[in-house]
Structure 1
Amino acid sequence: MSAYDPPYAIARTAAEAALYLELSPCPDCGSTETDWQHQQTAEVLSCTGVCAGCGALREFLFSRPSHPYEGFGGPEASELIDAGQWLEFADRIAGQVAVDDQSDEALEAMTVARQAVEEVVKFVPPAADAVPDEAFWTEAGRAVRALDPGRFRLERLLLIRDSYSG
């Protein structure tokens, strides 16, 4: 188990934990389809389910955030989802919205996409102009970066974020 696949992970919000579950394939078969059941205590969010692909029991434990944050998290970068995964998620959500769609659903989707890009920006250190290598710890995240590393420069991230304004 790597430092970024802990049995007891730090989730800044329930939304971040839910996205982590969506992005975490079953280690046995690779399926991402699991009917998650959630149990909460004051300190822990427990998510258990059976993989739809192979029937394996899956379980994740997340710490509960000490502060209620809007969106996916507070001012610090995620410890669950890497920079590449955040940008791929933002692109996927935004890509489902037609260019001229001004419906409430479309505006909400673009707000979520913008928030996901803001999560990528949090990985850029002060006075730096790009997301550093260590912000890509998953195979999926590194693959997104490999397709176009320039998208992780701060200037381009801010342009992407602004283009996803709802």
Structure 2
Amino acid sequence: MTGFLPERSASEIVDDALTRRYEGACGHCGTSRGFVFRVPDAPFDSVDVGPGFGDDRPSELLDPGEWLEMADAILARIPESPAGLTDAQRREAYADLDAGAAALEEVLKFVRDGADSVSPFSFWTERGRRFSLDSRWRFDAERLRDGLANVRAAQQRFSD
């Protein structure tokens, strides 16, 4: 499946907020798509070219359930072992591990200081709420941190 490549983009004001609209065809089915994203009130302090998403605040685009679902999808593509992989395959697996770790870090941003897990009130999408209800235990802060540490350890195996 190929990704969305915008053909047009423009800035606009929506509900008194600066936004950026992207329009184009879905690379998979060809259906015309449009996405509108709110531009942050404060600019990022620095531009990091790494795989991280956003800044240190919880996402306003995806809720923690969607982030965890994304991490699962990315990490499911990782081979069990780097043995027998070409250099290109190892680099791809490493990049996927990095993106999966970044998605887990996004989930962790929803854990409030002193809390043991992501609050049930952090889920605002139907998809995220459904994922949370089906797998509430997966939003435990310690479990998320352990999962992130395991992904970072796996990255070391694919970088050697």
**TM-score normalised by structure 1 residue count:** 0.69
Structure 1 segments (4+ residues) deviating >6 Å: none
Structure 1 residues 11-90: aligned runs within 5 Å: 36-39=6-9, 44-50=19-25, 55=31, 57-65=32-40, 66-67=43-44, 68-70=46-48, 71-90=52-71
Tell me the equivalent position of 1:141. 128
Cα distance in structure 2, aligned partners of 1:156 and 1:115: 16
Kindly state the Cα deviation for residue 90 of structure 1 after the two structures are TM-superposed: 0.4
Deviates more, 1:149-158 or 1:95-104: 95-104
Aligned length: 133
Q: Please tell me the residue identity of whatever aligns with 1:89.
A: M
Q: Whose Rg is larger?
A: 2
Deviations 1:56-87 (A, max 9, x none): x5432223441145310111000010000000
Q: What is the correspondence of 1:1-16 to structure 2 with a 5 Å cutoff?
A: none
Q: Any gaps of 5 or more consecutive residues in structure 1?
A: 1-32
Report sequence identity in percent.
33
Structure 2 CA distance for partners of 1:148 and 1:69, relative to 1, 3 Å:
farther
TM-score when normalising by structure 2: 0.71
Native 8 Å contact 1:38 1:45 kept in 2:
no
